[in-house]
Amino acid sequence: MPFGCKADAAGRVVDFDAVYADLIAPAIATAQMKPLRADEEMTGGIIHQPMYERLILCEYAVADLTTANANVFYELGLRHAVRRWSTVLLFAEGGSQLPFDVAPLRALPYRLTGQGTPDRVDESRALLASKLTAARAAKTDSPVFQLVEGFPNVSDIARLKTDSFRERADYSVRLKDRLAAARTTGVEAIRAVQNEIGPIENAESGVVVDLFLSYRGVKAWSDMIALVDAMAQPLAATIMVREQLGLALNRAGRGDEAERLLLRLIEERGPSSETYGILGRVYKERWDAAVTAGQAIVARGLLDKAIGAYVKGFEADWRDAYPGINAVTLMALKDPPDPRHITLVPVVRYAVERRLATGQPDYWDHGTLLELSAVGNDQAAAAAALSDALAHVREPFEPETTARNLRVIREARERRGEATPWLREIEDALAGAGRS
């Protein structure tokens, strides 16, 4: 299944993390089975040996066909080629029609709320649990085995590796639990977990990515950079890893390298909100340094460059409010302010409000509302947004980022003779959260 929030052909945004957490995983548990989600999909579709083993060796599999995701269909095809039975399909009603080749298959429909989360979950859970329980009867559900007479049953190899597969899966879960605990301790604890993993190039992709983002969580930029060098080449080449490497390079003071990497990624893969958002950050830090150094002319050029990158990121996907709020903030800092920010503010606000409406907001959603309140000079709204933002902090760099953005807003106003002491109080609160 996909991960995160994805739009279907009808334009609905489906929260697949909620579908898994609220519908699929509880149904699997009800059927007295153990849920195990394929984290590798988060790395851009790269499937390593453990992923193939999961598809081949798991006794039962659930595939969500909503949005006709290419990775899902590739994996379903592999599963049907090697497993005669025990694959259960489901999809969200009201979206696009299932592709022709899978339309005849008996897929379980489920309903969505207006926020893209599962509706009538008790009913859907019971139906899915019933289908999983019925799958134990070993009735052929693969169209390959149903339609191709004499097709060889290669899944017999499963018995040769089932024990090692289960051990690997359990090991993966244990490592992720260890990493979650290590992130609360510090970089040395995370390094200790890495030492347990052994050669990184041979490790499971999901574990490596979790390790990579754990280093990001404690701002260990040099460790992130070194880990990419140790990764298997297909994993290191994925979009997500390269984007986060750009972030780490910039934070480590290697902005020129970060810029080249991100521009090359845009040239190869096209524009994206995340890539342009990180590139905008590179230019914004250069602008901030130029302002501090008193290089007014250089600073103006870098400010325009940062705004341009953020605008392109927001235009690539307006649902991602991160580049949008950064564009708005920097436009408001210009002297005189860039009039485009008046048009962008309501669009950014709508984007973040739609995220909040899903019922699963994160720190950046509340941080965006906080910055919008600062841009609008609305002290009461900023205080409310601050409380929500502090309640959702996951990693220390999050409040630190917002504090820096508020600082540049305050300093720009002070240069224009506008005193906003309440902004400094919010900055201090955010900085304290980043240190804790």
DSSP annotation string for 20-63 = IIIIIHHHHHHTT------GGGGGTS---HHHHHHHHH-S-EEE
DSSP lists the bridge partners of residue 108 as 90
Question: Residue 230: what are its φ and ψ, rounded to 5°?
Answer: -90, -10
- How buried is 207 (Cβ within 10 angstroms: 0-12 exposed, 13-18 middle, 19+ buried)? buried
Q: Where are the alpha helices (DSSP H) in 135-220?
A: 143-147, 158-183, 187-197, 205-217
Pick the CATH number of 231-435 from 1.25.40.10, 3.40.50.1000, 1.10.10.10, 3.40.630.30: 1.25.40.10
Measured between alpha carbons, how far is 23 from 4 in angstroms, rounded to an integer?
15
Residue 214 near residue 183, CB atoms below 8 Å: yes
Residues 59/214, Cβ–Cβ less than 8 Å? no
For 203, other C-beta atoms within 10 Å of its C-beta total 21
List the structure tokens of 151: 């097709």
For the entire predicted model, the pTM comes to 0.65
| ∠ Cα 301 305 311 (to 5°) | 145
pLDDT of the chain, 436 residues: tens digit per residue: 777 788 777 778 888 889 999 999 999 999 988 887 765 444 444 445 566 666 776 778 898 888 877 778 888 888 888 788 888 988 888 766 666 666 556 788 888 888 888 888 899 899 999 989 888 877 788 877 777 766 665 544 444 444 444 555 566 678 888 888 998 899 999 999 999 888 898 787 778 888 998 999 899 999 999 999 998 887 788 888 899 999 999 999 999 999 999 999 999 888 999 999 999 999 999 999 999 999 999 999 999 999 999 999 999 988 888 899 999 999 988 888 899 988 999 999 999 998 888 777 889 899 999 999 998 889 999 999 999 999 999 888 889 989 988 998 888 888 888 888 899 999 999 988 867 6
Give the Cβ contact number of residue 90 at 10 Å.
Answer: 22
Evaluate whether 55 touches 81 at the Cβ level (below 8 Å). Answer: no
> Which helix (H) or strand (E) element contains residue 415?
helix 397-415
